[in-house]
Structure 1
Amino acid sequence: MKNLEYVFLLLALIAEIVGTIGGFGSSVFFVPVANFYFDFQSVLALTALFHFSSNLSKIALFRRGLDKRLLLYIGIPSVLLVVVGGAVTKFFNTGFLEAALGIFLVSLSLLLLVKKDLVLKPNTSNAVLGGGISGFAAGLLGTGGAIRGLAMAAFNLEKSAFIATSAFIDFFVDMSRTIVYYLNGFMHEDLLLYVPFLFVIGFLGTYIGRYILKFISQDNFKKTSLVLIFGIGLVTILKIVFMH
């Protein structure tokens, strides 16, 4: 147990709680935080494994709200493109991927902070496009839930329906990219030590987030989350700059 990064596990719990409340999913916080402790390929593998427990808990807690139509329109292109994104990661060096992650987080958070009322049209083409882009980003950079969330927001889903549908899509996305990352050789043996802890954290963080959600306005919390995402993205970029 002496090799465990306990601070990392605490930050993973916070990422899961904040991700559940903000509606962005834990990976948008988990990936850049884990990147300070592990190499980027290991981060991708850990994120996929972490999301299994996280999404299973969300499915169990919010399953009644599932929107089967969006599960197909957004889920299918997400699963197909996450395989493509995961497959091409081995052709890029980790420095490039880390920089791309930082730029992605900063750009996305700024867009949603400036365009507060940004809403896509609730049609099939936007659902398919949003699902495809989010899947590719998840495979390549480890996180794409915020893009999928933007596409899903167009359909004005009730809160539990939003979380349930997103969790079901994420479950299949993570299952697909876990296989790809394994074939890429990203699943290092030393990472297995963290798997049981991350499974517990996934369930616990989702439960706590769901409880807090009863007392906090999701819109107000979302603004705070976006500021945090911007800050994390900026720190990720600065880390790359100072390292090189």
Structure 2
Amino acid sequence: MLSKTTFFFLFLSLVAEIIGTVGGFGSSVFFVPIANFFFDFHTVLGITALFHLASNLSKIALFRKGLDKKLLLNIGIPSVIFVIVGSYASKYIHTTFLEITLGIFLVVMSLFFLIKENLVIKPELKESIIGGSISGFAAGLLGTGGAVRGITMAAYNLEKSKFIATSAAIDFLIDFTRSFTYFQNGYIHQHDLYLIPYLFLIGLIGTYIGKRILYYIPQEKFKKLSLILVLLVGIITIIGVFY
């Protein structure tokens, strides 16, 4: 029998998955700060990696209109390399500093994208490698880096389903890799594994609902709302560290 606290956490995880799918940033940008209110930060990193494995498999299955193999390599390879670097670095940095850094990262990122809403990155190899490296390192260190990868991929003007499928495939490689590193770091605890089946189901349901919403709400309009929510979550995360 799930406690009220656990049920509330799972409900918020479903909301994070839906918003992350429709907004195009991935659920971790919401899931990590939400989970941080229920678990210590290192545990959050471990749970996030396992949750995302299920979430991204769902996206790949539901948006399977073909992957962009070139982007998968150009962004995916540097992402995997630097997620390992970020994952190991997280072990040697105090969790309070990581939480503050996460909050600042979310605030700065959301404000930047709200102000530079028409930002265009060149669709070239150099930009892909840089974007993949930054998103991978952020994912390993802070648990979330999908927004950086999203703006990098947006330069290629992919069809919506292809964009989500390719992004999910890259994210899956990142999560698969950092799961092993987090396990070695001791972030994945046996007493938390009971959550995995629930989070797997939430990944399926949340992705499906998000896909349905995309039929009725233009992604650009929803993206702006998502960024405002990211900004608020970032501010709350910073305040929560000191209270």
TM-score, structure 2 as length reference: 0.98
Taking structure 1 as reference, are residues 55 and 2 closer, same or farther at Cα in structure 2, changes over 3 Å only? Answer: closer
Deviations 1:84-125 (A, max 9, x none): 100111101110000000000000000000111011111000
| Equivalent-residue separation in structure 2 for 1:143 and 1:225 (angstroms) | 15
| Equivalent-residue separation in structure 2 for 1:65 and 1:118 (angstroms) | 26
Alignment of 1:63-212 (within 5 A): 63-212=64-213
| Equivalent-residue separation in structure 1 for 2:123 and 2:75 (angstroms) | 12
CA RMSD of aligned residues (A): 0.8
Number of paired residues? 242
Contact 1:54 1:199 in 2 (8 A): yes
Q: What percentage of residue pairs aligned between the two structures are identical?
A: 60
Moved over 3 A (4+): none
Deviations 1:166-215 (A, max 9, x none): 00001110000000000001111221121110000001100110011100
How many angstroms does 1:163 deviate by? Answer: 0.1
Amino acid across the alignment from 1:189:
Q
How many angstroms does 1:65 deviate by? Answer: 3.1
Name stretches of at least 5 consecutive residues in structure 1 with no aligned partner. none
Q: Does 2:219 correspond to 1:224?
A: no
Name stretches of at least 5 consecutive residues in structure 2 with no aligned partner. none
Contact 1:35 1:43 in 2 (8 A): yes
Deviations 1:143-162 (A, max 9, x none): 00000001000111110111
SS of aligned partner of 2:80: helix
TM-score, structure 1 as length reference: 0.98
SS of aligned partner of 1:64: coil
Q: Does 2:32 correspond to 1:31?
A: yes
| Equivalent-residue separation in structure 2 for 1:221 and 1:50 (angstroms) | 23
Deviations 1:10-30 (A, max 9, x none): 000000000000000000000
Aligned to 2:57: 56
How many angstroms does 1:2 deviate by? Answer: 4.2
